């Protein structure tokens, strides 16, 4: 809070990122994304991720609705949704979400309803995990920026 | 053999080869037993020979005996001649020669025959007798002096005759007998052996079958249980062990039974021989006794005749008591068996008185209790004989029995009976044995009747009784008789003899004998003492018990011992085999486990390496990120070090992964056509930096016979080359060269037909030790490195569609110590531990390279000399490319090559081989070249070579003075031909300063940095020769930012996130980005006229996907262009652009070939894989904005 924690916060952020990389939650694409952020768009990553979450939230909701429907047969629509999800996930480098989505998609291509349901659950789980992690990351980032912003009169 | 085969076949599943040995062992054992049996059988006839020897001994005894009889005859003759009564004797002889001669000689000869052939059968004796029967009639010439001789020649003749009769039969039968014995033995043994082998085989088959059945059952029941599997492995071994033990037991039992049987057989033989010997000896004794007795009997008979002749036949009697006594005393030697003879007169009761009166004594009665010729009683004491019809008072008696004179023999019961029988039969008659008073021995009395007339043979009893005038009696002392006799015979010590009177069947009367000896085995032979009413027997037995039959025991004991020894040995062997098998089993298990562990290790390595790579990528990414932040110099240094280390680690992990993949057999090679020269160019450019740093000359040469395109795995090939060259660079210190050369294997197969100039020079055949090298530093002769290749000289693939390449990498490095050369290809093994300290590295590269080479059906080898360098060679087999299509890797060079083709060049280089390499590189560009070794040489020949486009001068050959001359010459030629040739300097390394200096001096047009490679050469040549574009190859690599700056770019994506990311990425490079979210919107935006310089199009979009949108855009553009071209619309309306074609790049996540082709088909210009990366974005965009 007093600006002394900048290094510590940075270290925390790095540690968190490293662990996310280790777990395969994120991949290099996220780094690419971070590199895109510069002075002209200081909140670029944050924005993109937020958009991603919004979009994904919508997609997941739709998927759930579709799958919960008794007389459901529109696997093509599910495929479309999933394509979207896969695309955006790989864009931000959410590797695990992307991977489980791919699995989900292959289940949907086979019109395997139980597989789809299971896939949805896994995707949701991964998605929430990613969301939590990202939330944490952004909080740390926030704190770091705040801490870095503290100046002491000399 | 068939059995062995079968056995081995039956056991192939379980035991393997060693099973074959077991039946062999058994056969050997059988063979051994057989041979032992045979050897012992050969020895057994020796016993028979001994037997024959004993026969000979007996023969000798017989001869002695015969001699005895001849002496007796002699004695008789001499006596008769002495006592002037020879004539009468001769008469007598003539009177009954048949009986006499027959008797004695036949007997003795018979005996002799029997002795001679101990084993002879009855039949032969019959033959002999038949032979003698006609002899009966042979008149006897009783020449006194020749008697002995006449007997012995007779015997000899008989012998000869008999021999001649029997000889053809005898040896034959003997031999046959022996043969038969041996052959039967052998045959029997063989049969037994075969039977045994068959039985064993049956047992074996049964045993080997049983475990496999069990095995199958187990297998069916629990195929997965590990323990069961172990048990499955064990039963055959156990079964086999049991089988072997059974065989052993069988063998031992057989051995024991053979030995027992042998013992029994031999013993039986011994016993039978003994029995036979006993029978022979007994018969011999009986016959001798009988013979002697008969001789003696005859003497008594003769005496009786004497009495009848001289006492009754002469009047007055020529014999009185005195004469009789004297004569009998003197001829006593003739009757050695009689204790005394007496003559009694037949006196009827009517004549008694007269008789008594005549002799002056009364006839006395014999005491009933002592009816003997006892001595110690006084005849006067006897009562006078009672009145009887007839008396037989003794009138003459030998001195020894003179006391019985006047005793009436008829008064004694025995004597009376004897007398009556004697006179009735006219022959000698014997009493039953009784105790003689005098000697207290058992004895018999022989009585002969004396007739007054010569009776015919067929005289009746009455006639005989009538003619009887007296009786001659002789007493025989049986024991002394027998004893005397036995004294003369051999082996009297060993045999005990009993003589019995068996007239009365119920009560045998023992006449002679002792109690010693074993009564159980005795031989009985009958005796004929010439009295048909009396039967006598001789019982013989050995005095000593049967000795321990050592001859039987020894061999059988030996066999037994051998059996047990062999059995023991085999038992030990079986135990050993069992333990070895067990050990083997264990080893197999351990081996399987070790192999499993090895596989697990490889898998582990592969997995772990893979898993390490992922986080390592993270680490590297983070480090890269860190490097992009604001860091001071120190921090930057640290980070760079960390990044470098991370990269090293990644490459190491990749190597380990390769190794693991190869080991676990999961590495698969690609099979794509590629240009080997291009690959080598790549490698050399990759490593040129390092080589230049160390000032090492790097040269690549590919033989012209190597085809342009081969089919194989370029990346792996490159890996091998990179590895070897990397190693070479690592171990070469600031001098010398590294020379990579590729040849066809066929080229070097025959060293004398090499056409390739470089190869010829390198190998320097026939001249010096080492050939010419690129840098001038000595190198190891490469020949040695491929000399040992096994497949090298094989011509298997000669005609097929494969080509075999030989690649050598030669360096002038430190070399590999000889002691380390053996382990150079072992993973993680370097020449020595200090190597890794000095040069770094893990030592895995060579191992991987070797494996890869092996995967490519090649071989790798090397020669190395410390201090000189190493040469690594390997062969690889590649496929020939089906069509000679050039691989479209460097179309960009095609144009340049077209330009350069057909030019001529002059290469000036002091080293011929290097010049050849340069020439090769020029050849690739279609430039023909001439080589001279120095500038001054060039001066002389340059005038001849007209139309030179360029002159390439090596740095080493460069000097200003000579060059000036050359330059002048060249400038002269310029005037005639037009443009002067360009001068290019080939330099190992040159700083940019140096290069610009050189260029500015005006002498040199361009400096080419070695290693030569196509791209560099082309660039340089283009720059110098084609004066148009001043384009430096390195200038191509511009910043992406410059390319995209101020560009209007449209991004089409339905995905908001993607849109944002793409926008962000493109914006970063200074582009102005417009985003739309559907194909339709994009269509609207791209409808000309518009300001977009490029469009990034997502392929998968709802409603209208990327392909469709692109197609529409292209349609629109075509329409507009057509309109413009036809002048329908003014160009000004469309921003003065005459031809509309907006580059459309596909954005896609899956970059597969099909997608790519589809993109092209619908009019796209390229594609970018979805998560934007700087590199890919650059290459994709660069095409369109390069010249913009």
Q: DSSP strand E in B611-713: where?
A: 672-675, 697-702, 709-712
The average pLDDT across A33-38 equals 78
Element (H, E) at B887: none
Put simply, whether A90 touches B (Cβ < 8 Å) is yes
β partners of residue B738: B698, B811
- Alpha-carbon distance of B396 to B390, in angstroms, equals 18
Q: What is the mean pLDDT of residues B53-58?
A: 43
pLDDT at B675 exceeding the cut of 70: yes
Min distance A33 CA to chain B CA atoms (Å): 7
For the cut 60, the answer to whether the pLDDT of residue B704 exceeds it is yes
Does a cis peptide bond (omega within 30 degrees of 0) precede residue B844?
no
Candidate from B625, B1065, B1149 with C-beta closest to A31: B625
Q: Does A51 contact B617 at a Cβ distance shorter than 8 Å?
A: no
User: Which of A113-127, B73-87, B228-242 holds the top average pLDDT?
Assistant: A113-127
pTM attached to this predicted model = 0.40
Instruction: Tell me the CATH architecture of domain B591-667.
Output: Orthogonal Bundle (1.10)
Interface membership of A22 toward B (CB under 8 Å): yes
8 Å CB contact of B1171 and A86: no
Lowest-pLDDT range of A143-147, B141-145, B363-367: B141-145
pLDDT of B176 above 60: no
- Greatest CA separation for chain B: 216
Indicate the pairing of strand B1048-1052 with strand B1072-1076. Answer: parallel
A29 near B1171, Cβ under 8 Å? yes
- Nearest residue of chain B to residue A91 (CA atoms): B1171
Q: Which is more confidently placed, B1112 or B73?
A: B1112
- The pLDDT tens digits for B995-1046 are 777 766 666 777 777 777 777 777 777 777 655 333 333 333 345 556 677 7
**Chain B residue numbers touching A38 (CB-CB < 8 A):** 1068
Domain count, chain A: 1
B327 close to B311: Cβ distance less than 8 angstroms: no
CB B469 within 8 A of CB B312: yes
- With respect to residue A154, please indicate whether it lies within any of the assigned structural domains: no
More confident residue, B970 or A78: A78
| Boundaries of domain holding A143 | 2-147
Section B862-884 average pLDDT: 82
Closest CB to B1170: pick one of A21, A36, A90: A90
pLDDT band at B591 (very low <50, low <70, confident <90, very high): very high
Q: Is the pLDDT of residue B969 over 80?
A: no
What is the mean predicted confidence (pLDDT) over B720-731?
86
Per CB-CB distance under 8 Å, the chain A contacts of B1067 are 36, 40-41
CA distance B39 to B33: 10
Q: Which fold has domain B1040-1186?
A: Rossmann fold (3.40.50)
CB pairs < 8 Å spanning A and B:
91
pLDDT band at residue B1187 using 50, 70 and 90 as cut-offs: very low
CA distance B985 to chain A (A): 44
Is the ipTM higher than 0.95? The answer is no
- When pLDDT is cut at 50, 70 and 90, the band that residue A21 belongs to is confident
Do the Cβ atoms of B1057 and A18 come within 8 Å?
Answer: no
How much of chain B, in percent, has pLDDT values that exceed 90?
2
What pLDDT shows up at residue B1017?
Answer: 79
Q: How far is CA B957 from the centre of its chain?
A: 70
Q: Does A93 touch chain B (CB under 8 A)?
A: yes
pLDDT tens digits, residue range B823-848?
778 776 655 556 555 565 566 778 88
Chain A residues 94-153 with CB within 8 Å of chain B: none
Q: Does B1040-1186 match B905-1026 at the fold level?
A: yes
The rounded Cα B892 to chain-centroid distance in angstroms is 69
Of 3.30.70.260, 3.40.50.2300, 3.40.50.300, 3.40.1180.10, the CATH number of B905-1026 is: 3.40.50.2300
User: Looking at the complex, does the CB of residue A44 fall below 8 Å from at least one CB of chain B?
Assistant: yes
Task: State the pLDDT at residue B207.
Answer: 55
Is the pLDDT confidence value at B1080 over 90? Answer: no
- B1173 contacts A32? CB cut-off 8 A: yes
Give residue B847's pLDDT. 83
Average pLDDT, chain A: 82
Fold of B668-792+800-830+842-882: Heat Shock Protein 90 (3.30.565)
Cβ-nearest to B1057 among A21, A37, A55: A55
Question: Hey, where are the domains in chain B?
Answer: 281-370+377-542, 591-667, 668-792+800-830+842-882, 905-1026, 1040-1186
Give me the pLDDT at residue A63, please: 87
Number of other CB atoms surrounding residue B520 within 10 Å: 7
Question: DSSP characters for B275-313?
Answer: HHHHHHHHHHHHHHHHHHHHHHHHHHHHHHHHHIIIIIS
> How near does any CA of chain B get to the CA of A2, in Å?
22
Within 8 A of A22 by CB-CB distance, chain B residues are: 614-615, 618
CATH superfamily of B281-370+377-542: CHASE domain (3.30.450.350)
Gap from A140 CA to chain B (nearest CA, Å): 17
Say what percent of chain A tops pLDDT 70: 91
Residue B1144 near residue B1097 (C-beta atoms within 8 A):
yes
Q: How far apart are CA A44 and CA A37, in angstroms?
A: 5
B159 versus B971: which is more confidently predicted? B971
Contact A35 B618 (CB under 8 A): no
What is the predicted pLDDT for the residue at B437? Answer: 58
Question: Does residue A112 belong to any structural domain of this protein?
Answer: yes
Whether residue B1048 has pLDDT greater than 50: yes
CB neighbour list of residue B472: distance below 8 Å, 6 or more residues apart: B300, B303, B304, B307, B341, B342, B343, B344, B447, B448, B449, B450
Q: Contact A93/B1171, CB-based, under 8 Å?
A: yes
* B contact set with A (CB within 8 A): 614-615, 617-619, 621-622, 624-625, 628, 1053-1058, 1060-1062, 1064-1065, 1067-1068, 1098, 1100, 1102, 1149, 1170-1174
Sheet holding B522-527, edge to edge: B509-512, B495-501, B536-542, B522-527
Would you mind telling me the total number of residues written for chain B in this entry? 1188
* Residue of chain A whose Cα is closest to the Cα of B1147: A87
Cα B282 from chain centre: 63
Say what the pLDDT of residue B1124 is: 79
Mean pLDDT of B494-498: 77
pLDDT band at B752 (very low <50, low <70, confident <90, very high): low
In a domain, A153, yes or no: no
Torsion of CA B195, B196, B201, B204, to 10 degrees: 150
> Which residues in B lie closer than 8 A to residue A80 (C-beta atoms)?
1102
- Give the angle B563-B565-B568 at the CA atoms, nearest 5°: 105
What pLDDT does B582 receive? 93
Choosing among B611, B1064, B1105, which should be mutated to test the A contact, i.e. which has the most A CBs within 10 A?
B1064
Cα–Cα distance, B1146 to B1157 (Å, whole number) = 11
Residue A93 has pLDDT above 80, yes or no: yes
- Residues of chain A contacting B1068 with CB distance shorter than 8 Å: 35-36, 38
Residue with tokens 């916060």: A9
Element (H, E) at B32: helix B18-43
CATH number of the domain that residue A78 is part of: 1.20.120.160
Residues of A in contact with B628 (CB under 8 A): 35
Query: What percent of chain B has a predicted confidence (pLDDT) above 70?
Result: 64
């Amino acid at each position: 809070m007093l600006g002394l924690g900048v290094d510590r916060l940075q270290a925390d952020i790095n540690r968190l990122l490293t662990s996310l990389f280790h777990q395969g939650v994120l991949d290099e694409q996220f780094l690419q994304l971070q590199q895109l952020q510069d002075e002209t768009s200081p909140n670029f990553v944050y924005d993109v991720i937020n958009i991603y979450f919004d979009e994904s939230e919508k997609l997941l909701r739709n998927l759930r609705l579709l799958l919960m429907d008794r007389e459901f047969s529109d696997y093509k629509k599910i495929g479309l949704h999933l394509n979207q999800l896969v695309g955006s996930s790989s864009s931000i480098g959410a590797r695990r979400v992307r991977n489980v989505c791919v699995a989900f998609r292959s289940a949907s291509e086979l019109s395997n309803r139980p597989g789809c349901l299971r896939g949805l659950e896994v995707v949701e789980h991964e998605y929430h995990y990613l969301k939590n992690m990202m939330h944490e990351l952004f909080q740390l980032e926030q704190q770091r920026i705040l801490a870095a912003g503290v100046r002491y009169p000399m | 053999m068939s059995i062995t085969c079968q056995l081995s076949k039956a056991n192939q599943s379980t035991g393997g080869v060693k099973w074959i040995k077991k039946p062999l062992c058994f056969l050997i054992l059988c063979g051994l037993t057989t041979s032992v049996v045979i050897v012992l059988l050969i020895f057994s006839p020796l016993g028979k020979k001994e037997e024959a020897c004993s026969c000979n001994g007996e023969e000798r005894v017989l001869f002695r005996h015969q001699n005895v009889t001849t002496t007796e005859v002699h004695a008789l003759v001499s006596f008769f001649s002495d006592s002037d009564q020879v004539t009468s004797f001769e008469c007598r002889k003539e009177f009954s020669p048949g009986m006499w001669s027959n008797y004695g000689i036949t007997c003795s000869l018979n005996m002799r025959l029997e002795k001679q052939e101990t084993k002879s059968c009855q039949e032969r004796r019959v033959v002999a007798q038949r032979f003698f029967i006609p002899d009966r009639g042979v008149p006897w010439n009783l020449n006194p002096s020749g008697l002995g001789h006449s007997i012995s020649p007779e015997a000899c003749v008989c012998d000869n005759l008999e021999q001649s009769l029997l000889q053809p039969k005898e040896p034959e039968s003997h031999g046959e007998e022996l043969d038969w014995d041996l052959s039967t033995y052998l045959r029997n043994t063989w049969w037994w052996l075969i039977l045994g082998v068959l039985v064993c085989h049956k047992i074996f088959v049964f045993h080997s079958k049983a475990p496999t059945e069990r095995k199958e059952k187990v297998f069916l029941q629990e195929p997965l249980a590990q323990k069961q599997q172990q048990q499955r492995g064990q039963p055959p071994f156990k079964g086999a062990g049991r089988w072997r033990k059974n065989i052993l037991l069988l063998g031992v039992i057989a051995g024991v039974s053979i030995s027992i049987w042998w013992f029994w057989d031999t013993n039986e033989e011994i016993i039978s021989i003994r029995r036979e010997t006993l029978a022979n000896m007994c018969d011999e004794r009986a016959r001798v006794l009988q013979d002697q007795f008969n001789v003696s009997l005859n003497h008594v008979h003769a005496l009786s005749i004497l009495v009848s002749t001289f006492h009754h036949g002469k009047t007055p009697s020529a014999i009185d008591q005195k004469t009789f006594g004297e004569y009998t005393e003197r001829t006593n030697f003739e009757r050695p068996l009689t204790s005394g003879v007496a003559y009694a007169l037949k006196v009827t009761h009517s004549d008694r008185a007269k008789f008594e009166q005549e002799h002056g004594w009364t006839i006395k009665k014999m005491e009933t209790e002592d009816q003997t010729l006892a001595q110690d009683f006084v005849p006067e004491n006897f009562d006078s004989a009672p009145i009887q019809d007839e008396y037989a008072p003794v009138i003459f008696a030998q001195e020894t029995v003179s006391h019985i004179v006047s005793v009436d023999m008829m008064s004694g019961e025995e004597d009376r009976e004897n007398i009556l029988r004697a006179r009735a039969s006219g022959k000698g008659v014997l009493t039953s044995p009784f105790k003689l008073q005098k000697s207290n021995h058992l004895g018999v009395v022989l009585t002969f009747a004396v007739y007054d007339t010569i009776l015919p043979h067929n005289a009746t009893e009455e006639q005989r009784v009538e003619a009887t005038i007296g009786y001659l009696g002789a007493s025989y002392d049986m024991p002394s008789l027998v004893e005397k006799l036995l004294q003369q015979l051999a082996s009297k010590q060993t045999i005990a003899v009993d003589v019995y009177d068996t007239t009365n069947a119920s009560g045998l009367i023992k006449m002679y004998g002792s109690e010693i000896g074993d009564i159980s085995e005795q031989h009985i032979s009958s005796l004929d003492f010439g009295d048909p009413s009396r039967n006598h027997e001789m019982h013989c037995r050995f005095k000593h018990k049967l000795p321990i039959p050592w001859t039987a025991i020894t061999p059988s004991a030996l066999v037994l011992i051998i059996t047990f020894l062999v059995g023991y040995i085999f038992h030990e062997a079986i135990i050993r085999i069992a333990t070895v098998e067990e050990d083997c089993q264990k080893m197999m298990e351990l081996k399987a486990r070790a192999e499993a562990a090895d596989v697990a290790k490889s898998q582990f390595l592969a997995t772990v390496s893979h898993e390490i790579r992922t986080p390592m990528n993270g680490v590297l990414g983070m480090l890269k990120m860190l490097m992009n932040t604001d860091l001071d110099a120190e921090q930057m240094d640290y980070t760079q070090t960390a990044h470098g280390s991370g990269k090293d680690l990644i490459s190491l992990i990749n190597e380990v992964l390769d190794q693991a993949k190869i080991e676990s057999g999961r590495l698969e090679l690609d099979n794509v056509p590629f240009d080997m020269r291009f690959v080598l160019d790549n490698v050399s450019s990759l490593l040129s930096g390092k080589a230049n740093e160390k000032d090492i000359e790097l040269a690549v040469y590919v033989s012209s016979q190597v085809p342009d395109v081969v089919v194989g795995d370029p990346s792996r090939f490159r890996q091998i080359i990179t590895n070897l060259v990397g190693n070479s660079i690592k171990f070469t210190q600031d001098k010398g060269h590294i020379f990579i050369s590729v040849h066809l294997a066929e080229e070097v197969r025959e060293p004398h037909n090499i056409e390739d100039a470089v190869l010829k020079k390198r190998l320097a055949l026939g001249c010096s030790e080492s050939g010419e090298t690129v840098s001038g530093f000595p190198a190891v002769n490469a020949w040695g490195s491929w000399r040992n290749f096994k497949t090298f000289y094989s011509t298997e693939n000669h005609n097929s569609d494969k080509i075999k390449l030989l690649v050598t990498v030669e360096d002038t490095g430190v070399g590999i110590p000889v002691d380390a050369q053996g382990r150079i290809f072992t993973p993680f093994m370097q020449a020595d531990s200090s190597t890794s300290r000095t040069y770094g590295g893990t030592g895995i590269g060579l191992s991987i390279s070797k494996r890869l080479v092996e995967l490519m059906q090649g071989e790798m080898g090397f020669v190395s000399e410390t201090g000189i360098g190493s040469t690594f060679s390997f062969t690889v087999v590649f496929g020939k490319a089906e069509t000679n299509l050039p691989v479209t890797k460097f179309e960009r060079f095609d144009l340049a090559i077209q330009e350069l083709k057909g030019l001529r060049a002059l290469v000036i280089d002091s080293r011929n081989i290097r010049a050849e390499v340069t020439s090769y590189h020029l050849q690739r560009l279609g430039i023909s070249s001439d080589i001279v070794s120095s500038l001054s040489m060039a001066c002389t020949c340059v005038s001849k070579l007209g139309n030179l486009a360029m002159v390439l001068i090596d740095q080493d050959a460069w000097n200003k003075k000579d060059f000036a001359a050359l330059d002048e010459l060249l400038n002269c030629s310029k005037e005639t031909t037009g443009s002067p040739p360009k001068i290019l300097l080939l330099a190992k390394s040159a700083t940019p300063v140096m290069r610009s200096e050189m260029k500015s001096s005006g002498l040199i047009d361009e400096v080419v940095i070695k290693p030569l490679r196509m791209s560099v050469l082309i660039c340089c040549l283009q720059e110098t020769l084609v004066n148009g574009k001043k384009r430096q190859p390195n200038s191509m690599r511009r910043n992406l930012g410059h390319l995209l700056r101020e560009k209007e770019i449209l991004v089409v994506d339905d995905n908001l996130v993607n849109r944002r990311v793409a926008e962000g990425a493109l914006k970063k490079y200074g582009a102005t980005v417009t985003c739309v979210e559907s194909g339709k919107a994009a269509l609207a935006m791209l409808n000309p006229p518009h300001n977009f310089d490029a469009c990034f199009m997502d392929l998968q979009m709802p409603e209208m996907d990327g392909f469709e949108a692109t197609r529409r855009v292209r349609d629109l553009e075509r329409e507009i262009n057509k309109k413009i071209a036809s002048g329908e619309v003014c160009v000004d309306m469309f921003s003065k652009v005459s031809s509309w074609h907006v580059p459309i790049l596909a954005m896609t996540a899956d970059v597969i070939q099909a997608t790519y082709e589809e993109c092209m088909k619908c009019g796209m210009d390229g594609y970018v894989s979805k998560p934007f990366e700087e590199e890919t974005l650059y290459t994709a965009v660069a095409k369109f904005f390069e010249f913009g």
